Amino acid sequence: MRLADAWAVQAPIVLFAVFAATVANTTVFATLGLYGRSAGLSEFEVGVVFASSGLLFFLTSSHWGRLSDRVGRARVMAAGLAATALSLFLFAGLYVAGGTFLFLLLARSIYGLLAGSIQPAATAWMADHTPADNRAAGVALVGASVGIASVAGPVLAAAVVGFGLTVPVAIGGVLAALAAATTLLGLRDARPNVEPGAAGTPVDGLAPYLATGFAMVLGFGALQPTTAFYIQDRFGLATAEAIRQASLASAGFAACSFAVQAFVVRRLSWLPRRLLTIGFAICLLGTGGSLAAPTSGALVAAFGVLGLGYGLAQSGLAAGASVLGGKHRQGQVAGRLQAAMSAAWIAGALGGTAFYPLSIRTPLLVAGAAMALSLGLVYAGVSPATSQIRR
């Protein structure tokens, strides 16, 4: 199959897999925090459940990326999607049965052990099957798929949460199972033609991107598990309304991120360093707006600004790192980048939930500091001459 034919026929399968996995995961984010509060769990215990998947992603993502370089992308992705489906079906059952901290942690750990394979393999597939002069734009579509799914997931949760917390996660589980079957049966399991050992050769120049990715996700990791708490506590909302408003904030963030990655970045000729710089500056504005927001509606708008900045920064990060991977190490690059981000997610989620009781604004202050640090790391370590994103 020619490169263009493979793209037209199979890229939608890859993007659907990423979409399904992200929708499934966002239904957990939308429901677990307030389920935990109603079940008597502390904010820190909820943070531990969230962070467990980040720890497992950190430990396994590099392995999954290298494995996909050796054996192909489809089976690696399908395994992660199947684990996602199983995890969500367990969450649905635990919500009904009144699951305890340990059982919730087990359900999340099943996801964390295998789902770290999905995005590195998908990113590597897009890089494998995108012409060299358009590679960055192709890789950015994975981020766009995450973005639109991050809109759909919270909207789904907000629409059906009235029927019970079980419903959105069960729907997410069905979607992940469908994506697993589609990927396994429909995606060509191409194996890169590399010399033995070539896929495992270290990638030079990747460290600045790993450090920047860590700092960026540290900030957003502090926000994600605490946003529903913040909205409920600051604006005095009931649980169901807090879920809806938090879902709208997440959807606003994701919608703006999606629009930037799907449409804006593909039309720009900016270098990754410029995308990163402007993205993080916009993120700082969004953080300030979130701290000052007088209403939940204003907070939703501020999260939209955060999404704009994140979309630019994420595109610059993925594009610059992908260029370094060359022809045969895309899985390794994507896996190491996800591992760094997962480590940051652990620190951010635990830090945000641990310090939240001291002040409900602490996670937003951590996010602002992380964006400032990211901006400094870009200037210190990312070369201005890194290959540009092409149209």
Q: What does the pLDDT look like over 289-321, one tens digit per residue?
A: 999 999 989 999 999 999 999 989 988 888 788
The pLDDT, as a whole number, for residue 5 is 57
Nearest to 126 by CA among 270, 10, 257: 10
**What region, left, alpha or beta, does residue 335 occupy, with left being phi > 0 and alpha being psi -120 to 50 degrees?**
alpha
The pLDDT, as a whole number, for residue 338 is 85
Instruction: Give the type of residue at 31.
Output: T
**DSSP reduced 3-state for 281:** helix
Q: Count the Cβ atoms, other than its own, within 10 Å of residue 391.
A: 12
Q: Is residue 390 part of a domain?
A: no
Model confidence at 389, in pLDDT bands (50, 70, 90)?
very low
Model confidence at 387, in pLDDT bands (50, 70, 90)?
very low
Q: Is residue 386 part of a domain?
A: no
What is d(CA 227, CA 221) in angstroms, rounded to the nearest whole number?
10
Q: Residue count of the chain, please give it.
A: 391
The pLDDT, as a whole number, for residue 130 is 72
Mean pLDDT of 219-243: 86
Q: Which span out of 99-103, 264-268, 378-382, 384-388 was modeled with the highest average pLDDT?
A: 99-103
- Residue 203 phi/psi, 5-degree rounding, is -95, 120
What is d(CA 320, CA 272) in angstroms, rounded to the nearest whole number?
6
Report whether pLDDT(390) > 70: no
What is d(CA 80, CA 144) in angstroms, rounded to the nearest whole number?
20
Model confidence at 383, in pLDDT bands (50, 70, 90)?
low
Report DSSP letters for 67-134, one per residue.
HHHHH-SHHHHHHHHHHHHHHHHHHHHHHHHT--HHHHHHHHHHHHHHGGGHHHHHHHHHHHTS-GGG
What is d(CA 21, CA 80) in angstroms, rounded to the nearest whole number?
9
Mean pLDDT of the chain: 84
The total number of structural domains that make up the chain: 1
> 36, 104 in Cβ contact below 8 A?
yes
| Range(s) of the domain holding residue 18 | 3-381
> 21, 81 in Cβ contact below 8 A?
yes
Q: Is residue 389 part of a domain?
A: no
> 307, 255 in Cβ contact below 8 A?
yes
Mean pLDDT of 352-377: 91
Instruction: Give the type of residue at 362.
Output: T
Token output for 225: 């598990």
Q: Is residue 181 part of a domain?
A: yes
Lowest-pLDDT choice from 18-27, 60-69, 103-112 = 60-69
Task: Kindly give, in sequence order, each residue whose CB lies less than 8 Å from that of residue 255, ignoring residues fewer than 6 positions away.
Answer: 147, 148, 151, 304, 307
Q: Is residue 391 part of a domain?
A: no
Q: Could you tell me the CATH number of the domain that includes residue 45?
A: 1.20.1250.20
Q: Is residue 388 part of a domain?
A: no
Mean pLDDT of 62-76: 86
Exposed e or buried b per residue across 236-268, where buried means at least 16 C-beta atoms within 10 angstroms of its C-beta:
ebeeeebbbbbbbbbbbbbbbbbbbbbebbbeb
243-270 pLDDT tens trace = 788 878 887 887 888 888 888 887 877 8
Nearest to 272 by CA among 241, 224, 315: 315
Lowest-pLDDT choice from 36-45, 100-109, 229-238, 279-288 = 36-45
Q: Is residue 185 part of a domain?
A: yes
What is d(CA 24, CA 196) in angstroms, rounded to the nearest whole number?
36
What is d(CA 191, CA 177) in angstroms, rounded to the nearest whole number?
24
Q: Is residue 94 part of a domain?
A: yes
Alpha-helix residue ranges (DSSP H) falling in 115-238: 118-128, 135-160, 166-186, 207-223, 227-235
